[in-house]
Structure 1
Amino acid sequence: MKKRFRAGVIGRTGRGNYGHGLDSVYLQTDDIEIVAVADEDAQGLEAAGKRLGVSNLYPDFHEMLEKERFDIVSICPRWVEPHLEMVQAVAAAGACVFLEKPMSQTLAQADAMIEACEQARVTIGIAHQGRMHAAVHHAKRLLREGAIGEVLSVRMRSKEDTRGGGEDMMVLGTHLFDTLRFLLDVNPTWVQSHVATEKGHPVTKANATDGPEELGLIAGDRIHAIFGLGNGVTATFESRRNQNDASGRMGLHIFGSEGIMLVHDGSQQIRIYEAPFWRPDQTAPIRNVSEEALAALPAEKNLSSKDRQMAANVAIVREILTAKEEGRRPYNSGHDGRWSMEMIHGVYASHLQGRKVELPLASRCHPLA
């Protein structure tokens, strides 16, 4: 008989809501039942109960965790401030955690989350859906096989819309940094960066503000950073506020000795330009990595981008539960989420110190504090 699992959902209507499908993911499974939902907002709680088909509704997630038994709990709010308290409470209740990104406001908080889960012997997975798509797994194999030759460098640009700069790096840069580490299977060892205002003035701690969505401290309208990876490759990250056609800019370009891999649309659209450099007057074959990956998965071939995102959420949940049973970290573990935070805070630390800094950071406090 197939094992069945019990799931809980923590939402926060008006203050992070229910994230990007972290609540409804369980409706896509036949062996995971949503047992209860918690939300401090009465109307939001009632609406979630109807949407998810759940009658056990709690205005306090602590009460829900005391009265119900769970195998996994989704911590859905996009707003970051309550993540630590929620993760610690879920871990203490003996349940695994599916956590919305960004993981935390500070590295100290990320450390505490990981410690709580490891002490409770439960697994924690972060909602970095990009590393779960079939295309990115196929791309990782191709890189390992030398499809673009020797990897030389990587260029990352974030969405660069009205959030460009510090907010963009925190909200969306976390995805890029996670995908970079996953594809190249290596961690950064150092970072050097420059963070400036819209007029080009270097930021100081005096420029730091409490970011929207309880992100914690952020600064800068323009960010340029270079990371040194453990394999000798360098990777740049850039975000500038209010760029035209911002949504199409976000992604990674991985430059190799024989080709360029382009990763866009949350890692769903991946192609290889089969030449080591690009020029407007030169044409070269383009290999569609995404189509190759989906050809082996007929069930996903005709899914919309949104549906593939939900399929990635399902894959994360499965991985969290399987990793718990096998006594290992999931592919998208809390350690991976913390590495994205290391890179984000490393950018600020390097800029403020005016030099290259080693990663992981020695200080676990926010560099802008």
Structure 2
Amino acid sequence: MIRPARPGRRDPVATDFPSTVPIVQRLLSEGPVSDASLSAKVHRRRFISAVSTLAAVSPMFWRAANSSAAAPDERMRVAVIGHTGRGDFGHGLSTVWLKVPEAEIVAVADADAKGLAREKEKTGAKQSFLDYREMIAETRPDIVVVCPRHIDQHHEMILAAIDGGAKGIYCEKPFCRTLDEADEIVAACERTGAKVAIAHRNRYHPAVPAIIEAIQSGAIGKPLEIRCRGKEDGRGGAQDLWVLGTHLFNLVPQFSGKVTACSAVMMHGKRPVTPADVVAGTEGVGPIAGDELHARYETENGIPVFFDSIRNHGVASAGFGLQIIGNEGIIDLRMDTEPLAHYVPGSPFRPSVKPRPWIPISSAGIGKPEPIEGIGHKVAHHLVAVDDLIAAIREDRPPLCSAEDGRATLEMVHGVYASHVAGGKAVSIPLATRTHPFLGWQVND
């Protein structure tokens, strides 16, 4: 049965952002335009411990094809939130649960009636609602899935799920728009014990601990720097920073330790961005500016991290990713590919007589066969991620990509804005200002 929306509910878009710059205030308050208009050891221990637990306890990760479903009273009850026309149901977030015997979809919500009917049929949900708040209140799910790609809705949807008693929330990336939004979500998780997991799929890849082990064992010698690039397609610049850069920023601290500072420049037509260049980004990311940006991050382990994005400078066949460059080799990671990483031995600064091999890194290590059958599919289709969330709920531990991790990723995004507003000076992370750095931005003549 389709439940009607309750009167007086406002659409969860950006509101209540005071600003002295009208364009930024408007962009944060009116919602997005259409897409067409446009420390390392601690991290390693946590990741390896979680993946080891995943292997031992979480059956989806290692499941044999003929394994049976969990008993009905042991399954997690899942409620799905989407919004047709405003981010829809994300990248497969609503249907992955059909492949998880430990879960059952009990309800779906969508403010668009036609979209709701389609998704109810697709997911096999028992109930459907036009108002996601009513769905949460009536069904009291264990897990709420926040699917829309438009991130201006995430903050309210996540808080509604936490306030409604959800044990876990699986949220489409990027996490949310501003650090004050992230702070509020993290505080709510600490208060209630709810687990928020963000759908940065590559973060859950079981090859990541093997990459960390390779670095710490000296495979690339002394790590010198980490180089990151987005897809650099038509979204190159600030939109790329948000939509693709966050995938990379979520992984970076695993190899560099925590990020402590950022210095950056944002460009438009080869000149520095000014307040007059501010426009609305797509997918609800809020105000953006420019078609090119260059950022440098300092880290607690002394390994500098660079992110660069120039509109229409990418190579489609190469995808996007990062390189960990050492004085005796390189580890290259390509997002959303299998294998995730390759090892290139030898100094990158000395010519080689023979071509250097690109050696795959599996979850078992450099040059070893991948022992996990179909791992590329399981990572790409969120199976590893949602299984980790279920394990995190049952074991009362943070998910591998938690709300705090999402906030750290957002610090790196906002660090670019904050540094540019400060004239390219280095700004400390965590940032002191928790609202959008473009708020109140003025350039003195």
Give yes or no for TM over 0.5. Answer: yes
* Pair member with larger Rg: 2
Superposition pairs for residues 170-319 of structure 1, below 5 Å?
A: 170-184=242-256, 186-197=257-268, 199-246=269-316, 248-266=318-336, 268=338, 269-277=340-348, 279=351, 283-290=355-362, 295-300=369-374, 305=376, 308-310=379-381, 313-319=382-388
CA change 1:187–1:40 in 2 (3 A) is same
Q: 2 CA distance for matches of 1:133 and 1:149?
A: 24
The one-letter code sitting in structure 2 at the alignment partner of 1:142 is A
Secondary structure of the residue that 1:30 maps to in structure 2?
coil
Superposition pairs for residues 1-369 of structure 1, below 5 Å?
A: 3-95=74-166, 96-184=168-256, 186-197=257-268, 199-246=269-316, 248-266=318-336, 268=338, 269-277=340-348, 279=351, 283-290=355-362, 295-300=369-374, 305=376, 308-310=379-381, 313-354=382-423, 355-369=425-439
Q: CA deviation at 1:266?
A: 2.8
Q: 1 CA distance for matches of 2:397 and 2:276?
A: 43
Asked if structure 2 preserves the Cα contact closer than 8 Å seen for 1:161 and 1:247, the reply is no
Q: CA deviation at 1:33?
A: 0.4
CA change 1:267–1:150 in 2 (3 A) is farther
State, as a whole percentage, how many aligned pairs show the same letter.
38
Q: 2 CA distance for matches of 1:297 and 1:101?
A: 28
Q: CA deviation at 1:112?
A: 1.1
Q: CA deviation at 1:118?
A: 2.0
The one-letter code sitting in structure 2 at the alignment partner of 1:133 is H
Q: 2 CA distance for matches of 1:194 and 1:290?
A: 36
User: Hey, what does 2:14 align to over in structure 1?
Assistant: none
* TM-score, with structure 2 as normaliser: 0.78
Q: 2 CA distance for matches of 1:249 and 1:315?
A: 22
CA change 1:157–1:282 in 2 (3 A) is farther
Question: More deviation in 290-299 or 238-247?
Answer: 290-299
The one-letter code sitting in structure 2 at the alignment partner of 1:37 is V
* CA displacement, residues 187-209 of structure 1 (integer Å, 9 cap, x when unaligned): 11111111100x21101233221
User: Hey, what does 2:38 align to over in structure 1?
Assistant: none
Secondary structure of the residue that 2:224 maps to in structure 1?
strand
Secondary structure of the residue that 1:299 maps to in structure 2?
coil
Asked if structure 2 preserves the Cα contact closer than 8 Å seen for 1:157 and 1:251, the reply is yes
* CA displacement, residues 295-337 of structure 1 (integer Å, 9 cap, x when unaligned): 3434226xxx555401xx2222222232233332211101111
Q: 2 CA distance for matches of 1:192 and 1:63?
A: 44
Asked if structure 2 preserves the Cα contact closer than 8 Å seen for 1:102 and 1:171, the reply is yes
The one-letter code sitting in structure 2 at the alignment partner of 1:368 is F
Secondary structure of the residue that 2:400 maps to in structure 1?
coil
Question: More deviation in 219-228 or 325-334?
Answer: 325-334
Secondary structure of the residue that 2:333 maps to in structure 1?
strand
Asked if structure 2 preserves the Cα contact closer than 8 Å seen for 1:133 and 1:267, the reply is no
Paired residues, number: 362
Q: CA deviation at 1:261?
A: 0.5
Q: CA deviation at 1:137?
A: 2.9
The one-letter code sitting in structure 2 at the alignment partner of 1:342 is E
* CA displacement, residues 261-288 of structure 1 (integer Å, 9 cap, x when unaligned): 0100336431111012065865223321
Secondary structure of the residue that 1:213 maps to in structure 2?
coil
User: Hey, what does 2:8 align to over in structure 1?
Assistant: none
* CA displacement, residues 123-147 of structure 1 (integer Å, 9 cap, x when unaligned): 1011111111122232122122222
* TM-score, with structure 1 as normaliser: 0.93
* CA displacement, residues 141-182 of structure 1 (integer Å, 9 cap, x when unaligned): 212222212211111111000000000000010001111112
Q: 2 CA distance for matches of 1:196 and 1:154?
A: 22
The one-letter code sitting in structure 1 at the alignment partner of 2:342 is R
Asked if structure 2 preserves the Cα contact closer than 8 Å seen for 1:136 and 1:183, the reply is no
CA change 1:138–1:267 in 2 (3 A) is farther
Where does the alignment leave 5 or more consecutive residues of structure 1 unmatched?
A: none
Q: State the superposition RMSD in angstroms.
A: 1.9
